[in-house]
Amino acid sequence: MTSPRQLKGVYAAAITPLKSDGAIDLDAVPEFMGFLARRGCHGALMLGTTGEGPSFSHNERVALMRAALQVRQEFPDFHLLAGTGTPSLEETFANTKAAFELGFDGVVVLPPYYYRKVTDDGLYSWFDQVIRRSTPAGGALFGYHIPGVTGVPLSIELLARLKEAHPDRFVGVKDSSGSLEHAEQLGQRFQEDLYIMIGHDRVFGPALHSNASGCITAMANICSPYLRRVWEAHCSGVSDPRAQSALEMGRAVMDQYPPAPPFIKAVLSHRYNYPRWSVRPPLQDLPPELEAQAIAGLDAACNV
């Protein structure tokens, strides 16, 4: 298990390869992780939003995590995070415990998104139990702030309470709000005390200047070289406006064809000769005419 203090940089919110019958293509997972590593990713988040995490059972999640670990045979320093949150507290315990037992570096935990009008006290109790019961000493747990999907925001005050109560295990937040203002508020409040991983490519470069620690984005599946350029420039004390601009244009194209998994899988097949991986209902593959339009738009925006 990697020290939490090493979990910075560029992470892909990885897609999950699926066969035409909806089963996970476990044989494809290690090679795809290697593809991400070779293209500049420091690591990957499995079973997040882009990975269709809520669509899989506990046993399927464990099988996928086990397959992903094989990437370390070629890339021993490739960091692996798992999305483990569900509305069920017990299932979240089981998913989180399994990730750490397998040797994942950390987990990214959605709030219990079925209940949209809960208080911060209720959310604190929920996350507190997840940490106490399933996150070992030295384990890294990130809260997942994506209110546009879950309808359950993680307030800055809630994050501060969790950090104070669990300073060595509650290590950060994946901020997928898409708001630069929110990213700046997080950076101002927590400085270096909390990992702030940006979930939207449009604000990645600017957020790095406000104490962000890296990114976990869908676009890293297909445009990670640009993300790595932005990251390396920041680490050198400069910026790379061309790379950031390419990310913004590419993200604008992707956002025209929501949700992200069908779009990304179509691009991976078109650009990099991967199988035309499917998605699970209620998601659907892009219709052929929209797929061609989407790919043409991305090729014009950024082609790496």
* Catalytic residue positions, numbered: 49, 114, 144, 174
List Cα–Cα distances, 282 to 116, 147, 168, 219, in angstroms. Answer: 21, 20, 38, 22
* Whether 73 contacts 37, CB under 8 Å: no
- Helix axis angle for 89-102 and 120-134, nearest 10°, is 40
Q: Which two tokens stand for residue 179?
A: 């708001």
| CA angle (147, 135, 154) in 5-degree steps | 15
Which alpha helices (H) appear in the chain, and where do they start and end? Answer: 28-38, 58-68, 89-102, 120-134, 147-150, 156-165, 180-190, 204-208, 220-235, 241-254, 260-272, 288-301
Distance, CA of 41 to CA of 224 (rounded, Å): 6
Q: How far is CA 283 from the centre of its chain?
A: 18
Q: Give the pair of three-digit tokens for residue 76.
A: 């021993």
Helices 220-235 and 28-38 meet at what angle, rounded to 10? 30
Alpha-carbon distance of 84 to 26, in angstroms, equals 19
Instruction: State residue 18 phi and psi, 5-degree precision.
Output: -125, 135
